[in-house]
């Protein structure tokens, strides 16, 4: 694994003229348009990068973008990987670990999620303050990679409280209606039953999705502060549950995308 990570990082350095990003961004389902705000310096297809998985979800473009956002150097995953695609957790988080080797200091993650809080509406933004891992495994299972982090990483603050507060300050300054809450990560790819929604809400989740937590675990393991935001693309509370297709999710995400882009762009500007 370490050798593969090093080979991938070295390939990327060669292809980007040693471009060194300070921040990494992972774009979730239907949220790829943030790249239009980036002054792109380099763009690499996942399929061309050694040892990199390839996105199989139609709404994920599968490009690694290097450039500037808000005047700061970033690397952006336009499309992520999921456990439900058949990848191992090590493959799901492989790009996050590569980002660390490339010099990334902080990670910004977005996703599309179902809203469990009765007060949520579609296209709301929810800043994630904590999570519940309902995935069947995680990327740290097995022999620990001491080069990346400790055997037993502390998870008492998986999402940077400082960046959460900065995001709330940005939302007030720009008049964004931003929520906060707990994100539950499930394997998917099917959406949940009504009974499962009830269970997930009962154990303390405000939103539910099929990603993010594996990447966050890997980032925390490597000592990388994380900020994450969910776009609420469907409602999962009694009386509001309806049949959902991918197009509905993409439309809700597209509606929220300008606000999410503004939030992340302004938040990155505020980083040391």
First to last CA, the chain: 31
Mean per-residue pLDDT, 191-195? 96
| 24-36 residue pLDDT tens | 999 987 777 788 8
Domain membership of residue 8 as a residue range? 2-269
Mean per-residue pLDDT, 127-149? 97
Mean per-residue pLDDT, 205-214? 98
Res 123 pLDDT > 80 = yes
Structure tokens at 138: 């995680």
Res 216 pLDDT > 90 = yes
The confidence score (pLDDT) of residue 57 equals 63
Mean per-residue pLDDT, 234-250? 91
Res 61 pLDDT > 70 = no
CATH of the domain at 18: 3.40.50.1580
**48 vs 54, residue with greater confidence:** 48
The confidence score (pLDDT) of residue 28 equals 85
Mean per-residue pLDDT, 4-26? 96
Mean per-residue pLDDT, 146-172? 97
Rounded to 5°, angle at Cα 98 from 80 and 267: 65
pTM of this structure? 0.95
Res 59 pLDDT > 60 = no
Rounded to whole angstroms, the Cα distance separating 178 from 254 reads: 16
Res 224 pLDDT > 80 = yes
Mean per-residue pLDDT, 124-145? 97
Residue 57: Cβ within 10 Å count: 17
Q: Is 17 exposed, middle or buried (0-12, 13-18, 19+ CB in 10 A)?
A: exposed
**Average pLDDT, whole number, for the chain?**
94
Mean per-residue pLDDT, 5-28? 96
Mean per-residue pLDDT, 44-70? 85
Count of domains forming the chain? 1
Counting other chains too, the contacts that 42-46 makes at CB distance below 8 Å and 24 or more residues apart are 42/15, 42/16, 42/17, 42/66, 42/67, 44/12, 44/15, 44/16, 46/79
**28 vs 20, residue with greater confidence:** 20
Mean per-residue pLDDT, 134-159? 97
Res 111 pLDDT > 80 = yes
The confidence score (pLDDT) of residue 33 equals 79
């Amino acid at each position: 694994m370490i050798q593969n990570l090093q080979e991938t990082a070295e390939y990327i350095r060669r292809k980007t003229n040693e471009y060194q990003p300070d921040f990494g961004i992972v774009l979730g389902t239907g949220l790829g348009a943030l790249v239009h705000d980036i002054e792109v310096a380099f763009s690499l297809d996942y399929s061309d990068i050694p040892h990199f998985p390839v996105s199989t979800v139609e709404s994920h473009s599968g490009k690694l973008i290097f450039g500037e956002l808000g005047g700061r150097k970033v690397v952006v995953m336009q499309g992520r990987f999921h456990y439900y695609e058949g990848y191992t957790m090590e493959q799901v988080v492989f790009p996050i670990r590569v980002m660390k080797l490339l010099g990334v200091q902080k990670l910004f993650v977005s996703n599309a999620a179902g809203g469990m809080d009765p007060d949520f509406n579609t296209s709301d933004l929810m800043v994630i303050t904590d999570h519940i891992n309902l995935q069947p495994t995680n990327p740290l299972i097995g022999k620990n990679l001491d080069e990346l982090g400790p055997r037993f990483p502390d998870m008492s603050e998986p999402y940077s409280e400082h960046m959460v507060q900065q995001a709330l300050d940005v939302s007030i300054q720009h008049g964004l209606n931003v929520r906060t809450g707990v994100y539950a990560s499930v394997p998917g790819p099917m959406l949940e039953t009504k009974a499962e929604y009830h269970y997930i809400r009962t154990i303390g989740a405000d939103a539910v999705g099929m990603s993010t937590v594996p990447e966050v675990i890997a980032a925390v393991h490597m000592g990388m502060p994380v900020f994450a935001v969910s776009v609420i693309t469907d409602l999962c509370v009694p009386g509001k549950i309806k049949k959902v297709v991918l197009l509905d999710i993409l439309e809700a995400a597209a509606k929220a995308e300008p606000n999410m882009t503004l939030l992340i762009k302004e938040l990155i500007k505020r980083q040391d």
